[in-house]
Amino acid sequence: MSFHTSIQGGIAEVVIDNPPVNALGSKAWGELARAIDGLGRDVAVRVIVIRADGRGFQAGVDVKELAKDGSLIAVVNRGCYDLFGAIYDCPVPVVSAVHGYCLGGGIGIAGASDLVLCSDDASFGLPEIDRGALGAATHAMRMFGMQVARHMLLTGEPIGAQEAWRRGGVLEVVPRAKLRDAAMALAAKIASKSAKAVQLAKWSLNGIELLDVKQSYRFEQGFTFELYTSPDSQEARDAFTEKRDARFRRDDDGRGDGG
C-alpha cells in the first residue's frame, strides 16, 4: 500500500509513503480516493490531515508505469478525478501538510483541500508540460490565482514556500520539523468545534466559491439559517452568554446528505 491511515482524537491522518518520490501508480489514486471517502463518512472522524513521509509530499503520477503502458492513462485520469473530488466533497475538512516537492497530482491533492500548511523547504510545480501531459492547473489556480497558475503550467517552473504563502495558496509556512505538529494542532482546533457547524461551513464555502457576490451570499444564507436553528447553534449561544466552553453532543455528528 502506498499510504497508511490512523485515527486518534477525531483526527484521521493519511500518510503517503511510496518511495522514492511518493508518485502514485494507476491503482493507488483510486485506492486513496476510496480511503478518503470512507474516512469522511466515519462518525469518529472530524478532520482529515494528509501528509507524507520521505523526501517530498507527492510527485504526481508514476511516469515510469505510464511509459510501459500508455493505456493506463484512462485509469490514472479517473483515479485523480475521484481523489480530488473525494477531498473537495469530503464531509469533514481536509488539511494538507506539504513538505519538499508538491508536483502535478500533489497540487491536485493540496488544491482540493480546505487548508494547506507547508514547510519552509516546500515547492509547488506543474512540470507536466515537459513530459507531454497537463494536469492540476484547476487546483493551482484555486491556490495561487490565474496568472501564477498559468505561468506554472506554461513554463513548468515551480514556486517556493514563501511565494506560495504570499499568493495566498498556503495558510502558514513552518520549519520542516514542526510541520506535522502544526497540522495536527490546526486539525484539533477544528475538531473541537460543532460537527454540524463545520460541515455546513464547508458546504457553504464550496458553494460560494464559484458564484457572484449576491448569489453566493444568498447561497450562504441557507446554511446560516440551517445552522442557526440547530441544537448546536443554541448550545454555542448559551455557552457564550454563560461564559463557558460549549458542550456539543457527540451522538450526532451532524452529517447529512447535503440536501
Q: Judge whether 255 lies within some domain.
A: no
Distance CA 86, CA 109 (A): 10
The whole domain housing 95 covers 3-191
Contact yes or no for 103/52 (Cβ under 8 A): no
Band the pLDDT of 240: cuts 50, 70, 90. Answer: confident
Band the pLDDT of 259: cuts 50, 70, 90. Answer: very low
pLDDT for residue 252: 54
Shared domain check, 170 and 47: yes
Contact yes or no for 100/128 (Cβ under 8 A): no
Shared domain check, 187 and 159: yes
For residue range 100-110, list pLDDT tens digits in order: 999 999 999 99
Residue by residue, DSSP assigns 166-221 as HTTS-SEEE-GGGHHHHHHHHHHHHHTS-HHHHHHHHHHHHHHTTS-HHHHHHHHH
Shared domain check, 212 and 186: no
How many C-beta atoms lie closer than 10 Å to residue 69's C-beta?
10
Q: Judge whether 182 lies within some domain.
A: yes
Distance CA 92, CA 40 (A): 6
Residue 249: pLDDT over 70: yes
Shared domain check, 64 and 116: yes
For residue range 204-239, list pLDDT tens digits in order: 999 998 877 677 777 877 887 788 788 988 888 888
For residue range 6-57, list pLDDT tens digits in order: 999 999 999 999 999 999 999 999 999 999 999 999 999 999 999 999 999 9
Residue 255: pLDDT over 50: yes
Shared domain check, 171 and 114: yes
Shared domain check, 210 and 182: no
